[in-house]
């Protein structure tokens, strides 16, 4: 079974958590793209979606799913999104596709975070995947120096501008033993918009595509 087939299986499995007539929170990435394909098959039964990126918005609209502005929505029962790494406590690293800030905002509104991954994303300790940090462009060098003080090796993701007009620093060589503490510390650096640790708001349900089928963790 290929990695993409495992992503697809996880994406389609998330459909069971979508409530009838609801507005669905939709994340970003290659795994979520499979979920969007699945969602399109039940589009007559849902009201629409709130999206976490321009890329997902375009795909949702192309498949005929109405996309709402988050400011016009006061409740989302579920948010479905992928992850770059997830540990046994359901803490995640996200932002490999630079969509972390909008993802964190939509996730904050949702009652339940349904994380969909293939089995390569499961880790014991977060940090092998470089931690993305979205930064206001003029603060890039200052924030990088502060991240070095926290023990990381930040690298500017050249050529990438986020949907919010900011830049990304990918922080290498962090062994993240206390994800909630580090999430707060990095967010407290002036010039940081947000970082890709989703620990204070982790996943509620994890669907993992494996060669033996989709495994569910709660």
Catalytic residue positions? 103
**Stretch in the footprint of ligand R5P (CB under 6 A) among 22-30, 40-48, 142-150, 199-207:** 22-30
User: Applying CB under 6 A, what is the total number of residues that bind ligand R5P?
Assistant: 17
Q: Which two structure tokens, joined as six digits, stand for 92? A: 């995640």
Q: Which two structure tokens, joined as six digits, stand for 2? A: 């290929």
Least distance CB 67 / ligand R5P (angstroms): 18
Q: Tell me which DSSP letter residue 173 carries.
A: S
Q: Which two structure tokens, joined as six digits, stand for 131? A: 């931690």
Instruction: Say if residue 163 carries a ligand binding annotation.
Output: no
Instruction: Say if residue 30 carries a ligand binding annotation.
Output: yes
d(CA 160, CA 134): 11
134 lies in the site for ligand R5P, by CB under 6 A: no
Tell which one of 22, 30, 122, 187 touches ligand R5P (CB under 6 A): 30
Q: Which two structure tokens, joined as six digits, stand for 46? A: 């849902």
Task: State the Rg of the chain over Cα.
Answer: 17
Tell which one of 8, 23, 25, 29 touches ligand R5P (CB under 6 A): 29
d(CA 33, CA 104): 18
Nearer to ligand R5P, 47 or 119 (CB): 119
Instruction: Say if residue 97 carries a ligand binding annotation.
Output: yes
CB 76 within 8 A of CB 106: yes
Least distance CB 24 / ligand R5P (angstroms): 15
Site string for ligand R5P, 66-105 (x = CB under 6 A): ---------------xxxx---------xxxxxxx--x--
d(CA 31, CA 90): 17
CB 183 within 8 A of CB 201: no
CB 28 within 8 A of CB 53: yes
31 lies in the site for ligand R5P, by CB under 6 A: yes
The binding site for substrate consists of 28-31, 81-84, 94-97, 121
- Residues near ligand R5P (CB under 6 A) are 27-31, 81-84, 94-100, 103
The binding site consists of 28-31, 81-84, 94-97, 121
């Amino acid at each position: 079974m290929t990695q993409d087939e495992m992503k697809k299986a996880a994406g389609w499995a998330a459909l069971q958590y979508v409530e009838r007539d609801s507005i669905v929170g939709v994340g970003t990435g290659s795994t979520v793209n499979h979920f969007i394909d699945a969602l399109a098959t039940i589009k007559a039964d849902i009201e629409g979606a709130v999206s976490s990126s321009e890329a997902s918005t375009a795909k949702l609209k192309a498949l005929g799913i109405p996309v709402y502005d988050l400011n016009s929505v006061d409740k989302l029962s579920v948010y479905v999104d992928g992850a770059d790494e997830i540990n046994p406590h359901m803490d995640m690293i996200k932002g490999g596709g630079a969509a972390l800030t909008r993802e964190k905002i939509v996730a904050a509104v949702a009652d339940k975070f349904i994380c969909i991954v293939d089995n390569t994303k499961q880790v014991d300790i977060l940090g092998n995947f470089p931690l993305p940090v979205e930064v206001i462009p003029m603060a890039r060098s200052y924030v990088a120096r502060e991240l070095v003080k926290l023990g990381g090796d930040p690298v500017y993701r050249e050529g990438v501008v986020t949907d919010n007009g900011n830049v990304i620093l990918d922080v290498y060589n962090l062994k993240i033993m206390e994800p909630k503490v580090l999430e707060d510390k990095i967010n407290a650096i002036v010039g940081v918009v947000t970082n890709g640790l989703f620990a204070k708001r982790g996943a509620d349900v994890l669907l993992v595509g494996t060669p033996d089928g989709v495994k569910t963790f709660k």
